[in-house]
Amino acid sequence: MWLGMKWAINAAERVQTKYEEGRAKIAKAGKLLQDADRHAEENAAKITELSSRLAKAERAAVDAKEARARAEAAKEAELRSLAMELGEAKKQAIAEYRNSQEFVALLDMELMEQCEDLIYRFRRFNANKKLNLNFVRDLPPLPERVTEEMVEAYLGEDAEVDSSSGLESDGEEEESTPLPSR
């Protein structure tokens, strides 16, 4: 009996230790649950704070995009106005330059160079035809035997000869002394 009792007491002590161990485990699990709840609340607070920061950042990004679009529109408008002003200034400068004596002189010189080139080409490719050079600024030098009076008196190859004025003899002299061609 004593042995049965001892066995019962030992069994009760074992049950009690298991009960206390179970209680400790339950207390520990309860503490872990409380810690987890506390961490969950902290995380929830952090999540709400981070979501509010994210919303602010998104609003700031949208505001920055709008500001950038407004700045680009203003920049484009400024560039357009500057381009218009520059175009007007160019037109005015060109108009002023075209009215200047320097431009007129340069234009005259350019035209005369082109004229001389055309005259050269005409003479080069139409050597047997006569060209009226009255519009050229610098006449080529006259040949040695030709004088200014002879040039002024010349009426042209197709001019009608008047027999009463005595120009036939002059015309014959000119025909007898042909001008050298260039």
Is the pLDDT at 174 greater than 50? The verdict is: no
Same domain for 5 and 46, yes or no, is yes
Cβ–Cβ contacts within 10 Å for residue 115, how many? Answer: 14
Q: What is the pLDDT of residue 168?
A: 47
Alpha carbon of 9 to those of 17, 24, 104: distances in Å? 12, 22, 134
Q: Which residue has the tokens 């920061």?
A: 53
In a domain, 15, yes or no: yes
Domain boundary among 55, 71, 87: 71
In a domain, 107, yes or no: yes
- Mean pLDDT in residue range 130-139: 59
Is the pLDDT at 15 greater than 50? The verdict is: yes
Query: What is the extent of the structural domain holding 129?
Result: 100-139
In a domain, 25, yes or no: yes
Question: Do the Cβ atoms of 132 and 122 come closer than 8 Å?
Answer: no
Q: What is the pLDDT of residue 70?
A: 95
Is the pLDDT at 59 greater than 70? The verdict is: yes
Split into its structural domains, the chain has a count of 2
Same domain for 59 and 113, yes or no, is no
- Mean pLDDT in residue range 28-46: 90
Report the alpha-carbon distance of residue 153 to residue 60 in Å, rounded. 95
Looking at residue 78, its amino acid is E
pTM here?
A: 0.35
In a domain, 144, yes or no: no
Is the pLDDT at 79 greater than 90? The verdict is: yes
In a domain, 108, yes or no: yes
Q: What is the pLDDT of residue 171?
A: 47
Q: Give the residue among 178, 176, 155 at the shortest CA–CA distance from 165.
A: 155
In a domain, 168, yes or no: no
